[in-house]
Structure 1
Amino acid sequence: MSEKKLRNITDVLCFLMILGYVMYLVATWGNLPERVPIHFNAHGIPDRYGKKGSLLLEPILGLLILALLMFCQRFPQWWNYPVEVTEENRENIFEIASKMMSVIKLLSIGVCLDAGISGNLGTAPMWPVWILITGIFVTLILGIRGIYKAGKETGMDEDDKS
């Protein structure tokens, strides 16, 4: 799948996730208690409560995170790479980095919104969060590995030419 197509699909999915969360809040707002859990410890037990209006922070935070990641994704030349970016490897490295960022956007929005939905349900199983966070780290590791490999392959080609 092309980098642009993946970027557009994940952008739309992220916006739909945020919109779905807002629609969920609107639909359940009247049934929510005035005090809701807003933070959970590592075992999924609420350790901080707030007014139900604080649940609006998740979609706002999600939009801010999404905007920041979308902005960063548009300028891969500003990123720090583990290999030298040359004319020969630039396109490949930027494509790998952008695909990595697309997946991270989707997983990050999932983490952000999971807390709000879990709080509304009164329970917060931690396994979805751990799966999403693991997904972010796996994506980072595979992306950096792919960038490193793309940069080294180009360097090896230049050495073979001499």
Structure 2
Amino acid sequence: MTNTSNRPKLKIPKSKSEWFWDTIGFSCYIGSIILLIVVWNSLPNQVPAHYNANGEVDRWGAKGELLILPAIGAFLMLLMQVIERFPETHNYPERLNSENLGRFYLNSRMMINQIKNIFLIIFAYIAFESISIALGWGKALGGWFLPLAVLSVFIPIIIGIVKQRKIH
């Protein structure tokens, strides 16, 4: 049953975990957009536009560049929602069969859901920090941000793989 064209589509309701992650991810994303709208006229002409690996601003740009963050967030959200919606197209091990199909689909979908929402949280946080720095509320993301961001994306992948290995 490894050929994706032969896999059946299943209607599996969203889990409580998926609803929780969507609520947190979308809330952070929408919150960052609302904050950007509220402070837009207060922002200086030059705002942080890029950070180095230590979380320090290494390029300043026009405040319009802050619109790139929600735009990338929206693109990733839409792309990953499409991927999340069609778990029958995901990659699965050879042991996929009609008895374990639903568990594989749900596990894969939950992993994609978590990664999508972590991306939304990360982009919302970068937007918040950029606004904060531009308005003089904060100083820098800090050297902890990049490792934490990378780790936060890989943790759901690792957990998903471990859970997938337990499906028989």
Q: When the two structures are superposed, what TM-score results if normalisation uses the length of structure 1? A: 0.83
Partner of 1:20: 31
Contact 2:29 2:124 in 1 (8 A): yes
Question: Structure 1 49/82 Cα, relative in aligned 2: closer, same or farther at 3 Å?
Answer: farther
Contact 1:21 1:113 in 2 (8 A): yes
Contact 2:84 2:109 in 1 (8 A): yes
From 127, 132, 138, give the equivalent of 2:144: 127
Partner of 1:140: 157
Contact 2:44 2:63 in 1 (8 A): yes
Contact 1:32 1:52 in 2 (8 A): yes
Percent identity, aligned pairs only, is: 27
Q: CA deviation at 1:83?
A: 4.1
**What CA RMSD, in Å, does the superposition of the two structures yield over aligned residues?**
1.8
- Partner Cα distance (2:17, 2:155) in 1: 18
Question: Structure 1 14/97 Cα, relative in aligned 2: closer, same or farther at 3 Å?
Answer: same
Q: CA deviation at 1:131?
A: 2.3
Indicate the SS of the match to 1:47.
strand
Question: Structure 1 86/21 Cα, relative in aligned 2: closer, same or farther at 3 Å?
Answer: same
Q: CA deviation at 1:13?
A: 2.9
The reply on whether 1:102 has 2:119 as its aligned counterpart is: no
- Partner Cα distance (1:31, 1:6) in 2: 38
Q: Deviation digits for residues 106-157 of structure 1, max 9, x if unmatched?
A: 211112222222122222224244323212111101101211221xxx2xxx
Q: Which runs of 5+ in 1 are unaligned?
A: 155-162
Q: Which runs of 5+ in 2 are unaligned?
A: 1-12, 134-139
Partner of 2:52: 41
Indicate the SS of the match to 1:86.
coil
Letter in 2 for 1:141: I
The reply on whether 1:92 has 2:103 as its aligned counterpart is: yes
Indicate the SS of the match to 1:21.
helix
